[in-house]
Amino acid sequence: MTLNSHKSDLLAAILPHVTFDGWSQASFDQAVSDLQMDPGLAEVLAPRGAVDLAVAFHRCGDSAMVRKYSETDTDTMNIRSKVILAVRLRLEAINDKEVVRRGSSLFVLPNFAADGAKLIWETADHIWTALGDTSSDINWYTKRATLGAVYASTVLFWLGDDSSEHQDTWEFLDRRIENIMQIEKVKGHIRTNEILSVAFAGPLWFLRKIEKPDYADDLPGRGP
């Protein structure tokens, strides 16, 4: 059995305990005990204990979304519909609100806020990559930043949504995506309008020098 398989087992074992004890050391220790796993191996798999498993849980959701999106026929969909679909698939990849709520509480703590921000960025990056985004300048960053904000706010809304089949959440998401589309329309208008493009060329010249990263392992969106 590989280390990844052992880590998957450990993640599955901790989830029932997270509902009651959060992503805590107590939950981690109980999962290790349930599996009768060598504590030394558990430490190798997750040096920070439950925190590393919470990160793994989030990334499993990203992987499930990408896989489901790739299996969906999106050829006739416009970009707005594709973004909405991808975000919906990402939320539907989660089958336990309480586990997510506990994770949200964990990643707002000062010690782990950077992990939380990186995970949100990764989700946005996975979505845009799945959609075939080809931007290579400042737009690469702005697309992920705005979508990350939309995803984070939608998750918080979803956590408190008790409407039938989460209809209120999907309407909320639709409004937030519309906001992104309006921003993109304004940016496109500026680029194609000679007067506006000249007016903004001076103050924003430095933004044209920004390029997307080469995906080093320590950059957002390409974590281990």
Q: pLDDT tens digit string along 176-189? A: 998 777 765 545 54
Look at residue 224 and tell me if it is in a domain: no
Look at residue 24 and tell me if it is in a domain: no
Residue with token string 């992920």: 144
| 54 token code pair | 């919470």
Look at residue 133 and tell me if it is in a domain: yes
Look at residue 132 and tell me if it is in a domain: yes
Looking at the 3D structure of the chain, how many domains does it have? 1
Look at residue 220 and tell me if it is in a domain: no
Neighbours of 155 (CB within 10 A): 21
Q: pLDDT band at 49, cuts 50/70/90? A: very high
pLDDT of residue 179: 77
Look at residue 173 and tell me if it is in a domain: yes
CB 66 within 8 A of CB 126: yes
Residue 164 has pLDDT above 70, yes or no: yes
pLDDT of residue 192: 52
pLDDT tens, residue by residue, 132-143: 998 888 888 888
Range of the domain at 143: 76-209
pTM for the whole structure: 0.84
Look at residue 47 and tell me if it is in a domain: no
Residue 48 has pLDDT above 60, yes or no: yes
Look at residue 129 and tell me if it is in a domain: yes
